[in-house]
Chains A and B, each alone.
Chain A
């Protein structure tokens, strides 16, 4: 099993640019999560999909953030325009359970906005 695959692993971009983070969940998992981790705020849940449908996006910080899941094997998290305070590690995770009793995380996408 390849696990949750995220890309890019590292990205440095300039303020104002669009950033797109990608995620391939584990095959057969029907729940997908996007988390953001910073030293100040810890690990925050941004959005949660089940069967490709967004269930809860209350953690999405603002309109600059959007997430999509066009099919069961792919999801994107987009930031447009990016700001320095968006610098963080963004984790994608998937779960075979509705509600996510056991969540499997990817390696993360390390984003730096300068």
Chain B
């Protein structure tokens, strides 16, 4: 299983762009990179998934360099409601491999 490493916590201010980087040095060829968001007292929620280069949706962008050993979740113009824990997962598509969440990154957005 590709292990992921991400910062334990980050602080930001409203209106700023936030970038959270995840390291996954032993990612395999067919692995996908997936990010989840968890608010207090709720289950994690899927944000975005990518395989290479860049993926963008209405919530975030995901940047993956050519070697795929890291990825960066980018949240544009964060608001207080973006305060949450963000998890990076590496998932083997179509596999029964365990889906293990790491410690995640606690993002706190300040006014």
Contact = CB atoms under 8 A, between A and B. Distances in A.
Interface of A: 4, 33, 35, 42-43, 45, 48, 50, 55-56, 58-59, 91, 93, 97-108
Contact of B91 (A45, A56, A101, A106): A101
Contact of A99 (B42, B91, B104): B91
A33 B104 contact: no
A59 B43 contact: no
Interface of B: 32, 34, 36, 41-46, 49, 87, 91-104
Nearest to B87: A43
21 contacts: A33-B99, A42-B102, A43-B101, A45-B99, A45-B101, A58-B98, A91-B43, A91-B44, A97-B94, A98-B95, A99-B92, A99-B94, A99-B95, A99-B99, A101-B32, A101-B34, A101-B91, A103-B46, A104-B46, A106-B43, A108-B42
A33 B89 CA distance: 15
Given A103-B99, A107-B42, A107-B43, 14 more contacts: A4-B43, A45-B100, A48-B96, A56-B98, A59-B98, A97-B93, A98-B96, A99-B97, A99-B99, A102-B46, A102-B49, A104-B46, A105-B43, A105-B44
Identify the interface centre among B32, B43, B96: most chain A CB within 10 Å of its CB: B43
A45 B96 CA distance: 13
